[in-house]
Chains A and B, each alone.
Chain A
Amino acid sequence: MDAVEIQSVTKTFGDLTAVDDLTLTVPEGSVYGFIGPNGSGKTTTMRMIVNIFYPDRGTIRVFGTESHGTSSAHIGYLPEERGLYRKMKVRELLEFYGELRGGRKVTAEVDGWLRKFDLFQWGDQKLETLSKGMSQKIQFIAAVVPSPKLLILDEPFSGLDPVSADLLRDAILELRHRGATIILSTHDMHVAESMCDRIFMIFRGKKVLDGTLESIQGQYGSDTIRVSSNGDAAALNGLPGVERVRDLGQVQELRMAQGCDPQEVLRALVGRARVSSFSIAKPSLHEIFVRIAGPAAEEVAVA
């Protein structure tokens, strides 16, 4: 069974169409990445899945059920805008959220998660005494206690230090191994590439990408060359058949025009600088994102 089936959904706010005729299926047990520029419709889509917003048109089914005006005990939701009752004590707050969603006492699960995140000793402290990073972890626990069948995480890693981010990543993957379906939105393309089974990109309310990383990259072919050389990025400008040079510091990424021969590029490059590595690759997700939503795409769209 699919965890989420979104069928021809449109959502407008006044004159703005936030989500436009979206159809999407999230298979059960998968990690599905939502990417897209700010304001493209990711959060609105997530809010519609958890029934905070209702679609103007179309249907959304969660585990085969279309629910309107009710909340589901099976969905855990971590919103992008973090906020909890700051005057409450950590354990009280987590038990409140857990009982509210699950309809039962969740004391043991709360303690387990607090230990996992090394926050057990903070259980009797008020939330307002915690650091921002700690509060974010608490909010994550509030979203996953009791264990949800579908976990929706809007920018779960934003603002976290690398250690906390790793902890959170492990926790998400553990939930996935236990059978949960994960939907997460992120601006970190590396996270999307490394964690997600499938990736969905929304741009100006419309679906522009949907599939596995491989299939998405396959749509663009092997049109990218990664080069390391002793010359700087300026030395690579004007290479035959190269449309765009992206300087990543130690490595430069070249995008080839259609019909460009990489051997010609290599020959021209060797004449300009000493090449230490040269590889032909599919475009990264970051590159694809920029091609769709970057300034160049904007210009094309305007033209």
Chain B
Amino acid sequence: MRKILLIAKRDYLAVVRTKAFLIGLVALPIVFGGGSVGSALVQNRAGAKSRQVAILDPTGAAAAAIVQAAKDKTEEDRLSKTAGLQASPQFDFETVAPDHAGLDEQRLALSDRLRSGNLAAVLELDPDTLHPRTNPPPPVRYYTNSGGIDTAQGWLADAVNEGLRRARLTELGVAESHFKELLTNTPLQSTSLVARDPRTGAIGAPRKRGQAESFAVPFITVMLLAMIVLIGASPMLSAVAEDKLQRVYEMLLATATPFELMAGKVLAAIGQSLTSSVFYIIGGLLVLEGMALIGMAPLWVLPWFFIYLVAEVTMLCAMGVALGATCGSPQDAQHLALPLLFPVVIPLFLIGPILQQPNGPLATALSLFPLFTPIVMMLRQTLPGSVPAWQPWVGLAGVLIVTPIITWGAARIFRVAILLQGQRPNAAQLLRMAVRG
């Protein structure tokens, strides 16, 4: 154990004392956080800029109602407390009467204006838009030259439908003063499950559950776990391959056993990961405290977070050490880097289906597969809607069984492969090394 700790200390200090580690530690949240804030600011600026929209209206009555509805919606958005940084789009409208004889020419002219940037969008109404005779009703054609995610479309769709409803109500003789009551939207408020307080026995009050609780907190927690695992584990393969090429290991192997050497390296990586995670978690909690949002922090999940972190880093680092030992060149290490990270990358690719059905068969199966357990079970545990109590423990048991097996096999591969030069063993040979040593 003394040798393991000594090797771990050397490897740990060799990494955390580098400028690259410290810069990476600080830069990562700045890049992610700065990116989000920057994106919001850019969106805000883009949203605040006034854009011109043309409405081609063959009904003769709908356009005015749509323009008025859009103005009212703009004002509502401005007054809305929930709008936050995101200002609503600002639109100026112009109504265009259709030239039935030259409609194609008219569309072309409007399209050219869109291409030149003179217009942001064109809404072409159908003659039956106000009184549709078909089901579904004829669509309003939406022309735009903007690419990527077009937030204006959704906003304008709301304004168009609001305006059309108002026009219909007006035709029916309903006074304008009744519009708000008739057309108001009632939202669905996402709410946490009610529970009994185990100490007082009192039934708790329903609690508003925001998007942050149902999506952001699980997402950020899992991304943090994945990010720290990747930071801790991914350099292992190339570092071992590099040290092998530098012929560092032969002398060490005369002093420490392969298992001691490998265990020291894995322990160092765990230390680096814990250092990063403590830094990020304390930093995150301080930010939440400063924003008076500390109640959102899922503190109860921290013990699981650290257990999963240690298990995943151990498994990936052990595999990284073994695969690094088989490399004959830095190129070999590059080729093996991605497969090594599959236990993290695959669950991240499947995050969508898991979020949709956290207790579905796919999510459950993945979370009980030991290589995926840390990421997937963490995600499921942080999502609202409880995971059956036995599942995290079964998942943990699988991890606790598989991790030593992987570490043991990896040590045997490491011992045989680390002094091999000029040849890269294939999968069958690796298996033989792991079994026979």
Contact = CB atoms under 8 A, between A and B. Distances in A.
B236 to A, nearest CB: 15
B256 A71 contact: yes
Contact of B246 (A75, A77, A86): A86
A152 B251 CA distance: 11
Given A52-B419, A71-B256, A87-B14, A103 B250 contact: no
Contacts of A83: 243, 246-251
Q: How large is the interface on B (under 10, 10 to 19, 20 to 34, 35 or more residues)?
A: 20 to 34
Contact of B254 (A69, A71, A88): A71
Contact of A139 (B249, B251, B253): B251
B251 A70 contact: no
A275 B243 CA distance: 58
A278 interface: no
A184 to B, nearest CB: 15
A79 interface: yes
Interface in A194-214: none
Given A70-B257, A71-B257, A100-B256, A84 B6 contact: no
A97 B255 contact: yes
Contacts of B6: 96, 99-100
Nearest to B415: A52
B3 interface: yes
Interface in A59-87: 69-71, 75, 77-79, 81-87
B10 interface: yes
A224 to B, nearest CB: 39
B247 A71 contact: no
B7 interface: yes
Contacts of A11: none
A150 to B, nearest CB: 11
B81 interface: no
Contacts of B254: 50-52, 71, 75, 77, 79, 152
A143 interface: yes
Given A69-B257, A100-B7, A52 B248 contact: no
B2 interface: yes
Q: How large is the interface on A (under 10, 10 to 19, 20 to 34, 35 or more residues)?
A: 20 to 34
Contacts of B253: 50, 52, 71
B255 A101 contact: yes
B251 A84 contact: yes
A11 B141 CA distance: 81
The SS class assigned to the A binding surface is loop
A19 interface: no
A86 B2 CA distance: 24
Given A86-B246, A88-B14, A96-B6, A78 B251 contact: yes
A70 B3 CA distance: 12
B2 to A, nearest CB: 6
A142 interface: yes
Contacts of B419: 47, 52
Contacts of B7: 100
Contacts of A78: 251
Contacts of B252: 100
Interface in B5-60: 6-7, 10, 14
Contacts of B251: 77-79, 83-84, 97, 139, 142-143
Contact of B248 (A50, A85, A99, A100): A85
Contacts of B260: 71
Interface in A75-123: 75, 77-79, 81-88, 96-97, 99-101, 103
A272 to B, nearest CB: 51
Nearest to A53: B419
A135 to B, nearest CB: 11
Contacts of B249: 83
A143 B247 CA distance: 15
A142 B6 CA distance: 16
- Tell which of A81, A96, A97, A152 has the most Cβ of chain B within 10 Å: A81
A52 B14 contact: no
Contact of B247 (A47, A51, A82): A82
A83 B242 CA distance: 11
A44 to B, nearest CB: 10
A83 B250 CA distance: 8
B404 to A, nearest CB: 17
B255 A71 contact: yes
A287 B255 CA distance: 37
A70 B257 CA distance: 6
Q: Ordered nearest first, which 6 A-B pairs have the shortest CB separation?
A: A83-B247, A77-B254, A79-B250, A50-B254, A81-B247, A83-B248
20 contacts: A47-B419, A50-B254, A52-B250, A52-B419, A71-B253, A77-B250, A78-B251, A79-B250, A82-B247, A83-B246, A83-B250, A84-B251, A85-B14, A87-B14, A99-B6, A100-B3, A100-B6, A100-B255, A139-B251, A142-B251
Given A50-B254, A88-B10, A96-B6, 18 more contacts: A47-B250, A52-B253, A52-B419, A71-B253, A71-B256, A71-B257, A71-B260, A78-B251, A79-B247, A83-B247, A85-B10, A85-B243, A85-B248, A87-B14, A99-B6, A100-B252, A100-B256, A101-B255
Interface of B: 2-3, 6-7, 10, 14, 243, 246-257, 260, 419
